[in-house]
Structure 1
C-alpha cells in the first residue's frame, strides 16, 4: 500500500490509465489542481475509486495568470474537502509576481477560514518564512509539500502545527533527509509530486511514493512495515479532521 498526498494526476499523459492503475494497486492519492478551472475534469479521475481525492488549488507559479479564477475557487470550495496546490514561490521568474501571489494566497486563506477550515497542501519554494506568516492561525491543517526551508524555519513550522509531505526527490538530498529526521513522526506523509519529478531517471508515478516510505524507514532506522504503518495511521488521523 502506498500514499501519495501530492501529485498532479490530471497532468500525466494518460491520466485515466494512471488512475486505473492506482485503483488496482490500492494507492491512496490526493490529486492536486493548479487552477480552479481544472477542478471538474480532475474530479472525473476519482470516479469509482474512493482512494483518490481531489484538491482545489491555484498554483502560485501561475497566480498572475489565473487570479481572475478566485471567484470560481470560492464557488467550488464548499464541495472540496482538500485545498491545493496553493502557496508562494520566490524562485527566479516567479518573484516578479510576488504581490499577486500574496493577494491570491491571502484570499484563499480567508476563504478557507470562512468555510470552517480545510486540509491544505502548500508550496513554499524560496518562500518558507512568508508562507508560515500567511498561514499562521489558519483554520484547518496546513501540509508543507516538499519542504526546502532552513532548520529554524522547520522548527517554526513544527511549532505552528504544520504537517509535511515528503517524496523520493526530496529524500535523495542530505537536507531533505535531515529534515525528515527532525519532523515529528506523527506529522509525516508521503508524496511524489508526479509527473514533474524523477527518481533514478524515471518519472515518478503515484505508487512510487512507496520509495519515500522505504527511505523514511532508513532515516528512522525502523523496519519498512513500521514506517508504512506510521504513515498509514497519519493519513487516517488526518482524514478524521476533514
Structure 2
C-alpha cells in the first residue's frame, strides 16, 4: 500500500507478544505498516515499551497511560488512584519520548465497575491523565467501553482537543458529538466480523477515522492472537462501507493519524 498504514492503537508490550516481537514487527512492515502507536495499561509496561521503541526507532511510537480496568491475580477490577500513583513521575520523566497519553478512559461494564464509587474513581484517574496530556501538549488514546456517551461528554467538559476514541461502539448520535469536537475514531479488525458498526462508520466522516488493530486482542478470529499486520482488514471494511478504494482509506487514515499525533509526523518527516 503506497505510503503505508498507521496502526493508531496496539499493545506491543502485551505478554502474548513477548516471545516473537521481532517477527511480528517484521510481518507488519511487510504488510505495509508505516508506524504503530503502542499503548500501555499499567505503569509497569513503560520501561519495556521505551526499550522496544529504542530498538525500533521511528516505527514503534510509545503512548503511556493507565487503563480504567486493571488485571489482578483472580481477574479484573476497576482502576484506583493507587494504580495511577507510580505513573505520575514516569510521565514527567519520559514526556519527550511519548507521542501520546493512553490507554486511558472509562469502562463502565457492569460487572467490572458495579458501584458509583468505582466509576467516580475512574473519572478521577481519567481527569488527572487528561490534565497531564494537556500540560504536555499530547493527544489522548481513549477507551470507552459501556461509557461512550460519558467519555465524550467528559472529554468535552475537560477541554480535550486531540482525542482518539479507539474501538468506539457507542451510538452514531453520540459519535457525531465527538466529530463536532474534532475527535477521531479508530476501528480494529474485529469490526469486519459483523455489521453492527456499519451504520456508525457510515456516519463518521472519513476525516475523523483512523485505523487500529488493538492487537493482540480484537482480531479477525476471536480465538487467535491479533497482530498489527492485520491492519488491512479494517481498512478494507471501511472502504467497503464508505464506497472508497482501500488505497484511499489507507491514505486518508494515515493523514488523519499524522494530524492527531504530530510527533509521528515529525519523526517520519512527512
Structure-1-length-normalised TM-score = 0.90
* 1:232 correspondence with 2:254: yes
Which of structure 1's runs of 4+ aligned residues deviate more than 4 A? 23-26
The CA deviation at 1:17 is 3.4
Candidates 25, 44, 60, aligned match of 1:19 = 25
Secondary structure of the residue that 1:186 maps to in structure 2?
helix
User: Are the equivalent residues in 2 in contact too, given 1:180–1:216 (CA < 8 A)?
Assistant: yes
CA 1:7–1:147: 2 relative to 1, 3 Å: same
Match of 1:130 in 2: 150
Match of 1:67 in 2: 84
CA distance in 1, matches of 2:163, 2:87: 20
Secondary structure of the residue that 2:107 maps to in structure 1?
coil
Candidates 29, 32, 40, aligned match of 1:33 = 40
Match of 1:110 in 2: 131
User: Are the equivalent residues in 1 in contact too, given 2:100–2:261 (CA < 8 A)?
Assistant: no
The CA deviation at 1:94 is 2.3
* 1:213 correspondence with 2:235: yes
User: Are the equivalent residues in 2 in contact too, given 1:67–1:104 (CA < 8 A)?
Assistant: yes
Structure 2 unaligned regions, length at least 5 = 71-78, 265-270
CA distance in 2, matches of 1:108, 1:224: 35
CA 1:103–1:236: 2 relative to 1, 3 Å: closer
User: Are the equivalent residues in 1 in contact too, given 2:99–2:263 (CA < 8 A)?
Assistant: no
* 1:151 correspondence with 2:144: no
CA distance in 2, matches of 1:39, 1:16: 18
Structure-2-length-normalised TM-score = 0.81
The CA deviation at 1:222 is 1.6
Q: How many residues align?
A: 241
CA 1:158–1:77: 2 relative to 1, 3 Å: farther
Match of 2:62 in 1: 54
CA 1:59–1:128: 2 relative to 1, 3 Å: same
Match of 2:113 in 1: 95
CA RMSD in angstroms, aligned pairs only: 2.1
Structure 1 unaligned regions, length at least 5 = none
User: Are the equivalent residues in 2 in contact too, given 1:9–1:18 (CA < 8 A)?
Assistant: no
Secondary structure of the residue that 1:92 maps to in structure 2?
coil
CA 1:139–1:148: 2 relative to 1, 3 Å: closer
Candidates 170, 184, 205, aligned match of 1:184 = 205
The CA deviation at 1:66 is 1.4
User: Are the equivalent residues in 1 in contact too, given 2:40–2:66 (CA < 8 A)?
Assistant: yes
CA 1:241–1:81: 2 relative to 1, 3 Å: closer
